[in-house]
Amino acid sequence: MRLFGRRIFDLWVAEESGRLVGSTLVTYGARAGFLSSVAVRPAYRRRGIARALLARAHEEIRSGHRPYAALQVLRENAPAQALYARLGYRKLSTSTVFAREPGPTDATYTPPGGAAIRVFARPDGEALAALVNASLSPEVREVLPSSPGAFSLPPLLASSTHSESTAWVLLSGERPVGFLRATVGGITRSAHLTQPILGPEVGTESALALVRTGLAWIASHAPVRAVVEVPEGATLPRETLATLGFGSKFTTDLLVRSSGA
């Protein structure tokens, strides 16, 4: 955090007799504190520890003048869903996580001549943020608006998590109309593709070319499973992902509540 020159996250922990028994991580966006890693040791559950950790996190989000607290939870995680409902969280949107095993010809893919794909550069962020914000529902945009910096990965973050990452843009003329980032290594066993961002004019062939470019890059690094999360109503339909061999694995809900700020 000293190197970044600003506060990037807070990790709250609960201790009992010097033993770590619970945690909550908060990262900060422009309008919301985003909670993750909410967990309490099994033997310490139902004693109000998660409630206390979340209260502390909400307090800090409030004092940082972010009006919302947001988080993602597995649809099937009944204890966590009950906890968040109890604390006044409501559902903002739903996403599906898809996974795909590596294919033998992934690494040899080259995009067709007509597909204008190049490596992402920082100045693309502005057009991409406008594209994302135009596609979000007003409710989601209010809580989690995109920003030009959201598409870059600070090199320090990649190196500190021992991961490698590359991003591409799809172009219409000079204008970025699509975006995808692929990441391998680091703290997850599977490779990760960001939600593909695709402008309304992007056709299926170009969308496929962008995703296959990401899969080829992953294959050239490691023969691992690729995971991608796609919100309901996204421009990349699940049928397109299915043609690439992606299968749906689980559903997550994006929840939000007021921080009281």
Ligand X SMILES: CC(C)(COP(=O)(O)OP(=O)(O)OC[C@H]1O[C@@H](n2cnc3c(N)ncnc32)[C@H](O)[C@@H]1OP(=O)(O)O)[C@@H](O)C(=O)NCCC(=O)NCCS
| Structure tokens given for 178 | 């699509």
- Supply the minimum distance, in Å, between the C-beta of residue 136 and ligand X: 22
- Supply the minimum distance, in Å, between the C-beta of residue 16 and ligand X: 12
Closer residue to ligand X in complex, CB, 76/101? 76
Residue 260: left (phi > 0), alpha (psi -120 to 50), or beta? left
Closer residue to ligand X in complex, CB, 79/237? 79
- Supply the minimum distance, in Å, between the C-beta of residue 89 and ligand X: 10
Which residues are CB-contacts of 4 (< 8 A; sequence separation ≥ 6)? Answer: 154, 156
- Supply the minimum distance, in Å, between the C-beta of residue 183 and ligand X: 21
Task: Measure the CA–CA gap between 8 and 1, rounded to whole angstroms.
Answer: 6
- Chain residues that interact with ligand X, rule: CB under 6 A: 38-40, 45-51, 73, 77, 79-80, 82-83, 86
Report the SS3 class of residue 98.
strand
- Supply the minimum distance, in Å, between the C-beta of residue 73 and ligand X: 4
Closer residue to ligand X in complex, CB, 178/231? 231
- Supply the minimum distance, in Å, between the C-beta of residue 105 and ligand X: 37
Which residues are CB-contacts of 2 (< 8 A; sequence separation ≥ 6)? Answer: none
| Structure tokens given for 222 | 């490691």
Please state, in angstroms and as integers, the Cα–Cα distance from residue 117 to each residue in 102, 174, 207, 230, 245, following that order.
22, 11, 10, 21, 22
CB 12 within 8 A of CB 51: no
Closer residue to ligand X in complex, CB, 47/56? 47
Closer residue to ligand X in complex, CB, 45/221? 45
CB 70 within 8 A of CB 255: yes
Report the SS3 class of residue 139.
helix
Closer residue to ligand X in complex, CB, 115/255? 255
